């Protein structure tokens, strides 16, 4: 089987999504715990939410393009997409879990 | 609230709900034994576009209005957790959705020319995840709106 450009895009974007959602979870939680980071996001991007969006867009675009140059057939796309779904679930649970703990004043 | 802000808020909600609905229909079609990938492609790419529009319009409303005019009223009311948990969580997990929607659209585009049953099942799972996140975000939004 040849590695088609479409296959390469599906793979590179899926891996970029994995990295982006993990970066987002870390950035969001760290910004709540480290005021200096949240202040830097506000000062640099006007609003911390815009900063998180801009950084995630930047990382996602960079990784999608760079990984697009890597021609690989393994692991198969089905495994990559499954892993992507797991990464997304973990990231969302980490974000929601953090704000729940924050609400309960446990962090 | 200005007319522009009201328009952006309405567009944000409508396109967000449309994105969720489109992912629901995408999922139903992917789960068919003989999926019509040409239709699924249109649905998945439309969901991606809807989430992009919803993202952009929410950014304007959230950054210029919510923090100064809505958040203080929620925090001073009977349900401050509507902001402290539901809004904080919603605004952040929403950042994930357009990326996932793009990945789903690319995967079904690939499936159109390269049928692969394992990839079809895993793409259905990813679409289900996006759908559930979308519903959670929309439900949180309804709760936040009702808490003022």
Assembly ipTM: 0.94
Give B146→chain A minimum CA distance, Å.
19
- Put simply, whether B39 touches A (Cβ < 8 Å) is no
pLDDT the model gives residue B148: 82
CB B140 within 8 A of CB B89: yes
DSSP string, A1-21: ----HHHHHHHHHHHHHHHHH
Amino acid A2: pLDDT = 54
B102 shares contact with chain A (CB less than 8 Å): yes
Burial class (CB in 10 A: 0-12, 13-18, 19+), B57: buried
Could you give the CA distance from residue A102 to residue A34 in angstroms, rounded to a whole number? Answer: 14
Nearest residue of chain B to residue A29 (CA atoms): B92
CA distances from A95 to A22, A25, A55, B27, B98 (A): 10, 6, 17, 25, 17
Q: Which of A16-20, A74-78, B44-48, B104-108 is least confident?
A: A74-78
How near does any CA of chain A get to the CA of B3, in Å? Answer: 22
Please report, in tens digits, the pLDDT of each residue of chain A (107 residues total): 456 889 999 999 999 999 999 999 999 999 999 999 999 999 999 999 999 999 999 999 999 999 998 888 789 999 999 999 999 999 999 999 999 999 999 98
Question: How many CA atoms, within 13 angstroms, populate the side-chain half-sphere of residue A40?
Answer: 11
> In angstroms, rounded to a whole number, what is the distance separating the alpha carbons of residues B35 and B50?
23
CB contact under 8 Å between B89 and A52, yes or no, is: no
Q: Minimal Cα distance from B121: which residue of A?
A: A78
CB A17 within 8 A of CB A84: yes
What are the structural domain ranges in chain B?
A: 3-145
Asked if A24 contacts B92 with a C-beta cutoff of 8 angstroms, the reply is yes
Q: What is the pTM of this model?
A: 0.95
Cα B16 to Cα A48: distance, rounded to the nearest angstrom:
22
Q: Do B63 and A103 touch (CB under 8 A)?
A: no
Q: Given an 8 Å threshold on Cβ–Cβ distance, is A60 in contact with B99?
A: yes
Q: Under an 8 A CB cutoff, do B84 and A102 touch?
A: yes
Chain A residues whose beta carbon lies within 8 Å of the beta carbon of residue B114: 4, 6-7
The whole-angstrom separation of Cα A78 and Cα B121 is: 8
Q: Is any Cβ of chain B less than 8 angstroms from the Cβ of A62? A: no
Sign of CA dihedral B55, B61, B64, B65: negative
Q: What is the mean pLDDT of the segment spanning B47-60?
A: 96
Confidence of residue B130 (pLDDT cuts 50, 70, 90): very high
């Amino acid at each position: 089987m040849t590695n088609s450009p479409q296959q390469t895009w599906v793979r590179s974007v899926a891996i970029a999504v994995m990295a982006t959602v993990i970066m987002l979870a870390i950035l969001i939680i760290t910004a709540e715990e480290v005021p200096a980071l949240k202040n830097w996001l506000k000062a640099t991007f006007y609003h911390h939410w815009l900063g998180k969006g801009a950084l995630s867009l930047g990382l996602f675009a960079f990784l999608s393009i760079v990984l697009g140059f890597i021609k690989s057939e393994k692991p198969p796309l089905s495994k990559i997409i499954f892993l992507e779904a797991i990464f997304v679930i973990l990231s969302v649970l980490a974000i929601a879990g953090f704000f729940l703990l924050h609400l309960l004043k446990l962090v | 609230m200005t007319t522009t802000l009201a328009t952006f808020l309405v567009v944000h909600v409508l396109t967000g709900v449309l994105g969720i609905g489109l992912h629901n229909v995408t999922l139903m079609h992917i789960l068919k034994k003989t999926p019509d990938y040409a239709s699924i492609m249109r649905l998945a790419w439309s969901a991606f576009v809807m989430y992009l529009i919803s993202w952009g319009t929410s950014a304007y409303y959230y950054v210029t209005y919510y923090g100064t005019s809505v958040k203080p009223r929620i925090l001073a009311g009977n349900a401050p957790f509507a902001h402290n948990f539901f809004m904080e969580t919603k605004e952040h997990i929403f950042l994930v959705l357009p990326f996932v929607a793009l990945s789903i659209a690319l995967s079904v585009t690939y499936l159109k020319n390269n049928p692969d049953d394992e990839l079809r099942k895993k793409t259905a799972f990813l679409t289900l995840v996006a759908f559930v996140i979308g519903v959670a975000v929309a439900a949180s939004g309804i709760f936040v709106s009702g808490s003022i």
